[in-house]
Amino acid sequence: MNKIAEIFTSLDYGPAPESPDVALAWLSAHDNTFGHFINGAWTKPGKTFATENPATNKPLAQITDGTAADVDAAVKAARAAFPKWSALSGYQRGKYLYAIARLIQKHSRLFAVLETMDNGKPIRESRDVDIPLVARHFYHHAGWAQHREREFPDHVPYGVCGQIIPWNFPLLMLAWKIAPALAAGNTVVLKPAEFTSLTALLFAEICEKAKLPKGVVNIVTGEGDTGAAITSHPDIDKIAFTGSTEVGKIIRKATAGTGKGLSLELGGKSPYIVFDDADIDSAIEGLVDAIWFNQGQVCCAGSRLLVQESIETRFLEKLKKRMSTLRVGDPLDKAVDIGALVAPVQVARVTELVKKGIAEGGQLYEPDIDLPPGGGCFLRPALITGVSPANTVASEEIFGPVLVEMSFRTPEEAVALANNTRYGLAATIWTENVNLALDIAPKLKAGVVWINSTNNFDAAVGFGGYKESGFGREGGREGMASYLKPAWEKELKPFVAAAPKAAKSANPLDDIGSIDQTAKMYIGGKQARPDSGYSRPVLSPTGALVGEVGDGNRKDIRNAVEAARAALGWSTTSAHNRAQILYFLAENLEYRADEFAARIKAQTGEDGASEVAASVERLFAFAGWADKYDGAVHNPPQRMVATAMVEALGTMAILAPPSRPLLGSIALVAPALAMGNTVVLVPSEKSPLSMTDFYQVLETSDVPSGVLNIVTGESKVLAKTLAEHDGIDAIWFAGDAETSKMVEAASAGNVKQTWTSRGLYYDLSDKQKFEGDYFLRRATQVKNVWIPYGA
């Protein structure tokens, strides 16, 4: 029997090696040593470290470890380039992006081979997935550059963007960040991961060939200290980070109070849900892609397999058989399914987590397949069954070729298991029942949901997570919006508060008449006395006692958050019904306009009629938005549609500004409620009585219990409690710069989304600025659901 006949009989794969010669020649042309790319030129190499081929553990090149001085030079170059770059027409910027895309295509094979050698991923993946998507992002954003002014009127680029990317998709993450930043008119200082800097350095040469203006793109290599120098640099206007949740929290704290824009794409522990009516063979092929693509080193990897109990045994049998056919080997071999992990430290981490999972009761299955001889960072694909949600491997991101399996009985249980995680990046659903798929998708707390497919990405479709998977989006309209800000924000001035006046008498009790003027809090649809048992005086501008309110504490906040979370069904109430309730609120407030105007005058000395009228109008405005601020349907190149669903953030904490006691709260609460959030409100510390009166309006306007809760007290104290509370999904604070910084830093605990005024004056009475997208966008997050179509 000849060799060909033998192959057809055994169906064994033969080797199909990709030559590394061109990539090695490129490295040799640089003497295998690289400096930084700053201001359109290459710096001399400084102190270097080795980047290694993880398949062989042999060095490829020496990379310069960037210093704070290097980062400063890059930032200065980017700052100097910004005025001219941002002043170019969108068409002119788009031509540069188009040129970059074309050059990447022309050198695609070199990029793919270099990426595989530096990262360890199979050449099939870098060649057929990563590099085409890189070019796609630059093509796509060339269009956004030209249409930016039309689609984002009155918005401007941030300025200099600091960008830090991970090692799992080195060039693709670069494209995700640089393309929209340049399209928007920003300039960039980017740090690639220390393990995988080579394709970023090759990209710098592409920028030279495209004749990109000097300083627009700067590449500074280095380790963790280099990244820290970027995030802490005072002349960087926005930070974009992709990486671990732990580092993301550090960056959130480091940027607190600086006014920098911030987007974080962090870790994940994504569920892969298979219902009993699914096409099992297709679901297994999808699962191979979900967890063993890039050796499982994917933030959105489908690492938690949830299988309906009735098909669990059959599914696992088929899965194990399929695992036994996977090929682990040289990443440059086109017939290899699983390449090398990025570094020995990653192999050690994955191995240790697997041991821990077994020690906690999990059963490990690894197929009996050979690993390449001679070392290298290789691991077999692994499956761990018999685990509970509390098992470490079921809750922690492993970031390796390890799948964890659990079963469920009902769709409700599947949703509960899927959402039982601090992450919320992606999810996959397999079922032949389209009604079931579209019922489950909105219930999953994830920024991306794939139906009967997995790991679909496109430049036109936003990508990003919920909860501790971060905030902000990359790709599509949402990704462009992340690199722009309203032009008027750059003109904000500091808020100047009026000096407080003391009470006329030494003892506030002396001013209280025969009728008690102490307002209660409003929690869970009921009036509530403060847990502290203390009250706070509310004074007029002349120092006269107007009334008293409860002095809220940590327990009051706990009760309010519990009530708000119990009312999260508000987000599933139809937008039409939410609109009707907001209209009803406005109507009932207008009935009592004179009373509320008098209360405002008593607290502030100002004529309150105009403020009440503005508050009524603001409620009407957001009632009108409730059923109109919705998503879109994207058309990626695949035979799929991606529906961008606009969803509520969850439970929000809102701390109102000291001025405008009624409108200051309504202007923030109305968009939050319109979008389906529940709210814990701390009204104006100085003049809270307008909002304690407002709960009487709530009680007559069909607002469900717990949707809006009001806790009075000292804003700074309550802000800290709310920012640290894991039951709060987002926090808005209008007040001084010091407390704003504290709120942003404390929010890092569960990576809350934040908006703070940072001591600046936001004129919330300005209808043009604040009756539309500004707060609506901050009160929502976008989930993209990918739906295949066609026979």
Q: How far apart are CA 549 and CA 561, in angstroms?
A: 20
The closest of 508, 524, 500 to 684, measured between CA atoms, is 500
Is the pLDDT score of 500 beyond 80? Answer: no
Question: What are the backbone dihedrals phi and psi of residue 160, each rounded to the nearest 5 degrees, phi first?
Answer: -95, 125
Residue 5 pLDDT:
74
Q: How far apart are CA 195 and CA 51, in angstroms?
A: 6
Residue pLDDT, tens place only, 171-206 = 999 999 999 999 999 999 999 999 999 999 999 999
pLDDT confidence tier of residue 228, bands split at 50, 70 and 90: very high
The SS3 assignment for 324 reads: coil
Is the pLDDT score of 504 beyond 80? Answer: no
Residue 499 pLDDT:
60
Pairing state between β 780-788 and 426-430 = unpaired
What residues form DSSP beta bridges with 643? 633, 785
In a 10 Å sphere around its CB, with 0-12 CB exposed, 13-18 middle and 19+ buried, how is residue 95 labelled? middle
Is the pLDDT score of 498 beyond 70? Answer: no
Is the pLDDT score of 263 beyond 80? Answer: yes
Mapping DSSP onto H, E and C, the string for 649-700 reads CCEEEEECCCCCCCHHHHHHHHHHHHCCCEEEEECCCCCCHHHHHHHHHHHC
Mapping DSSP onto H, E and C, the string for 191-244 reads ECCCCCCHHHHHHHHHHHHCCCCCCCEEECCCCHHHHHHHHCCCCCCEEEEECC
Q: Across residues 350-366, what is the average pLDDT?
A: 97
Q: How far apart are CA 749 and CA 245, in angstroms?
A: 10
Is the pLDDT score of 509 beyond 50? Answer: no
Q: Which position has the token pair 């210093």?
A: 67
CB atoms within 10 A of CB 354: 21
Residue 6 pLDDT:
73
What residues form DSSP beta bridges with 403? 383
Residue 34: partners with Cβ closer than 8 Å, 6 or more residues away = 42, 45, 61, 62, 63, 64, 197, 201, 221
Contact between 540 and 546 under an 8 Å Cβ cutoff? The reply is yes
Is the pLDDT score of 513 beyond 70? Answer: no
Residue 284: partners with Cβ closer than 8 Å, 6 or more residues away = 315, 318, 319, 322
CA of 274: how far to CAs of 301, 310, 433, in Å? 15, 11, 12
**What percent of the chain is predicted at pLDDT more than 70?**
97
Residue 505 pLDDT:
46
Residue 510 pLDDT:
46
Q: Across residues 79-104, what is the average pLDDT?
A: 98
Residue pLDDT, tens place only, 6-38 = 767 776 777 888 999 999 999 999 999 999 999
Residue 204: partners with Cβ closer than 8 Å, 6 or more residues away = 37, 42, 217, 219
pLDDT confidence tier of residue 517, bands split at 50, 70 and 90: low
The closest of 684, 765, 760 to 496, measured between CA atoms, is 760
Contact between 38 and 73 under an 8 Å Cβ cutoff? The reply is yes
Residue 374 pLDDT:
81
Residue 527: partners with Cβ closer than 8 Å, 6 or more residues away = 520, 521, 695
CB atoms within 10 A of CB 427: 31
Q: Across residues 93-112, what is the average pLDDT?
A: 98
Q: Across residues 434-445, what is the average pLDDT?
A: 97
Task: Respond yes or no: is residue 265 known to be catalytic.
Answer: yes
Is the pLDDT score of 508 beyond 50? Answer: no
Residue 514 pLDDT:
41
Task: Respond yes or no: is residue 207 known to be catalytic.
Answer: no
Question: What are the backbone dihedrals phi and psi of residue 116, each rounded to the nearest 5 degrees, phi first?
Answer: -65, -40
Q: Which position has the token pair 């679909």?
A: 456
Supply the mean pLDDT for the chain: 95
b/e for 27-50, b at 16 or more Cβ within 10 A?
A: beebeeebbbbbbbebbebeeeee
Q: Which position has the token pair 């041991």?
A: 355
Q: How far apart are CA 63 and CA 61, in angstroms?
A: 6
Sign of the Cα pseudo-torsion (467, 415, 782, 734, in order): negative
Q: Residue 296 has what DSSP assignment?
A: G
CA of 76: how far to CAs of 159, 242, 254, 350, 748, in Å? 12, 24, 21, 40, 29
Q: Residue 505 has what DSSP assignment?
A: S
pTM, 2 dp: 0.95
Is the pLDDT score of 44 beyond 90? Answer: yes
Q: What is the DSSP string of 241-256?
A: EES-HHHHHHHHHHHT
Is the pLDDT score of 737 beyond 80? Answer: yes
Is the pLDDT score of 506 beyond 50? Answer: no
Lowest mean pLDDT among 6-15, 366-375, 545-554: 6-15
Which residue out of 161, 207, 299, 300 is catalytically annotated? 299
What residues form DSSP beta bridges with 328? 338
Q: Across residues 528-543, what is the average pLDDT?
A: 93
Q: Across residues 608-626, what is the average pLDDT?
A: 97
Residue 30: partners with Cβ closer than 8 Å, 6 or more residues away = 61
Which residue out of 18, 265, 312, 771 is catalytically annotated? 265
CA of 625: how far to CAs of 27, 619, 629, 775, in Å? 56, 10, 6, 11
Q: Across residues 415-440, what is the average pLDDT?
A: 97
Residue pLDDT, tens place only, 455-476 = 999 999 999 999 999 999 999 9
Q: Across residues 767-772, what is the average pLDDT?
A: 96
Contact between 723 and 707 under an 8 Å Cβ cutoff? The reply is no
Q: Which position has the token pair 């707390």?
A: 445
Contact between 323 and 405 under an 8 Å Cβ cutoff? The reply is no
Is the pLDDT score of 617 beyond 60? Answer: yes
pLDDT confidence tier of residue 141, bands split at 50, 70 and 90: very high
